[in-house]
Structure 1
């Protein structure tokens, strides 16, 4: 469902329980197109980068395509996309590749998440995404009304190991699926197997070399530093 900009602006004014680190409240960009927002498709830089854009389909914690995702594409601000392309290039020398789940996230998509979180009767994805939590606990602790992804400098991803010729890539075991709500998704959570811990460390090392910093509560979540537009969020559709 398309959220009116007034509603999105209200969410911006509310702020983010998990994003209060920002020195000031973000402003909503007036940009109407990706080009106007300086957002670029990562595949213009790495045409064969692996993608599984979860919010463009039904395989996500909502169980449905998310508002604002009109195509399964990864957009990032240009300097961030260029840094991610360099990280991918460096990994390929080790027969490793990135696999992207989400990048820039329109503000209207975040509003869609909030709407879903308020619908406590919809429990379709509990077993996969929040088996140890009551859904009423997700809003605020896990789903915030403003997301750093909407600033265009954050990416959710994992690592794949490939055959020497670059084919037959398989994802590394990380201990949870993407968008698992619970402490097991914390990057340095105890209880991982040695291999899972090593794989998370391998991803973190590769991303840090590329200028990205991990969000400790989500092993898949990385933000480029310094962010190009740290106080601006966008609502350009992904298409």
Structure 2
């Protein structure tokens, strides 16, 4: 009888709070509930234009160490009337495989005008926009921006998330002073709290001393 009750409670917990995660991983909202989340690969609003394999729920999964660092950053921003907003975090290998398959189908350019207007799809691999392995799959990389809590609007960063082009480089000069200031605000708070930036994307940061530097996971987001 006790075993039945235990498994009932375990099943109820899993249904409410999600799947049982690999050791070292957590749902971010179990650590910090106030961070905004819009997982772009869950729906059609992404560079492919379709939901991506492995994404089933709008819920962020990261390593525990990453969650603690993001919580600290969020507490700093809230005092300024701001909040983090996450577009992507842990990404299953099956999702990366989906990107790779899509990149090889050269006539599938549904979202080209919005996400890669000046880049030939045939060059996405060569120029590093698509790869067979991603740091996201190790669980300690996040794609994110900052939101104004009063207006609910994202700060203008000079280019949209996942825009393939020079305009997304953190130090791109042909944007406004306010846009550069917003990028540097995000960059500064992330670096000061344990993350390292990526040279080609203002939104992309990886936790220094990540716990799984050579392991690429493949459990789904649900």
TM-score with structure 1 setting the length: 0.82
Deviations 1:62-99 (A, max 9, x none): 11111011111110000111111111111101111101
For structure 1, the residue ranges without an aligned partner over 5 or more in a row are: 1-32
> SS state of the match for residue 139, structure 1?
coil
Report what 2:58 is aligned to. 72
SS at structure 1 position matched to 2:142: strand
Map 1:1-239; keep pairs closer than 5 Å: 35-140=21-126, 141-163=128-150, 168-239=151-222
Alpha-carbon separation, structure 1, partners of 2:59 and 2:149 = 22
Structure with the greater alpha carbon radius of gyration = 2
Higher-RCO chain (CA-CA 8 Å, sequence separation at least 6)? 1
Contact 2:32 2:67 in 1 (8 A): no
Question: 1-side partners of 2:92 and 2:49: how far apart?
Answer: 18
Deviation (angstroms), 1:209: 1.8
Q: CA deviation at 1:46?
A: 1.7
SS at match of 2:21: coil
Following superposition, which runs of at least 4 residues in structure 1 exceed 3 angstroms of deviation? none
Q: CA deviation at 1:206?
A: 1.0
CA RMSD of aligned residues (A): 1.1
Aligned to 2:8: none
Partners of 1:122 and 1:153 in 2: CA distance: 31
Q: Helix, strand or coil for the counterpart of 1:181?
A: coil
- Give the secondary-structure state (helix, strand or coil) at the position aligned to 1:100: strand
Quick check: 1:175–1:192 contact (8 Å CA) kept in 2?
A: yes
- Contact 1:174 / 1:197 at 8 angstroms: preserved in 2? yes
Deviations 1:8-40 (A, max 9, x none): xxxxxxxxxxxxxxxxxxxxxxxxx65224221
**Structure 1: distance between partners of 2:38 and 2:56:** 14
- Answer whether contact 2:96 2:133 (CA < 8 A) is retained: yes
The two structures have a TM-score, normalised by structure 2, of 0.89
